[in-house]
């Protein structure tokens, strides 16, 4: 946790979480130390988004606020952005505007 204490951009909400939350926008080229690793971000990540606080294996549950919010669809390396592309609900698939097009096919 010391790494996150020093960070001005990432916040761990609950002690059991394997994600940290972006609290100040991250830009491509920004550096952060997460889980002892020096991470260089290659893309912009906005406030409220999630980043892996450690390596998360495919199928492993992702925890935020101490509660599982779904399962990893693939291996997620430490520092990676976590969103629709690599996390799925254990409850019901998330509806996005693109989901609509699936019906149209």
Partner 1 sequence: MHSPSSSQRLEGYLRSDHRKGIRNYVVVAYLVECAHHVAREIVDQFRGQPVHLIGFGGCYPNAYADRMMHSLCTHPNVGGVLLLSLGCESFNRRRLAEAIATTGRPVNTIVIQQNYGTRKSIETGRAWVEQALKQIADVPRAAIDVSDLIVGTVCGGSDATSGIAANPAVGRAFDLLVQKGAATIFEETGEMIGLEEVMSARAVTPELGRELKMSVGKAARYYKVMGHASFAPGNAEGGLTTIEEKSIGAYCKSGDSPISGLIKPGDVPHHGGLYLLDVVPDGEVRFGFPNINDNAEIAELIACGSHLILFTTGRGSVVGSAISPVIKICANPETYERMSDDMDINAGKILRLEATVDDVGHEIYDKVLEVVSGVPSCSEELGHQEFVLTYKSFEPIGPSCLPA
Binding site for partner 1 (CB under 8 A): 7-8, 11, 13-14, 21-23, 46-50, 64-70, 82-84, 87-92, 94-97
Residue 3: name the closest of 47, 46, 34, 38 by CA. Answer: 34
Q: Is 52 exposed, middle or buried (0-12, 13-18, 19+ CB in 10 A)?
A: buried
Q: Are 33 and 3 in contact (CB under 8 A)?
A: yes
CB of 101 to partner 1, least distance (A): 13
Comparing CB distances to partner 1, the nearer of 23 and 58 is 23
Comparing CB distances to partner 1, the nearer of 39 and 86 is 86
CB of 49 to partner 1, least distance (A): 4
């Amino acid at each position: 946790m010391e790494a996150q204490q020093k960070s001005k951009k990432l916040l761990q909400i609950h002690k059991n979480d394997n994600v940290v939350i972006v609290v100040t926008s991250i830009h491509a080229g920004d550096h952060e130390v997460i889980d002892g690793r020096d991470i260089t971000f290659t893309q912009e990540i906005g406030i409220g988004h999630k980043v892996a606080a450690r390596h998360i294996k495919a199928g492993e549950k992702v925890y935020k606020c101490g509660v599982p919010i779904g399962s990893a669809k693939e291996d997620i390396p430490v520092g990676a952005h976590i969103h629709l592309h690599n996390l799925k609900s254990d409850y019901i698939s998330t509806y996005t505007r693109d989901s609509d097009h699936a019906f149209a096919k």
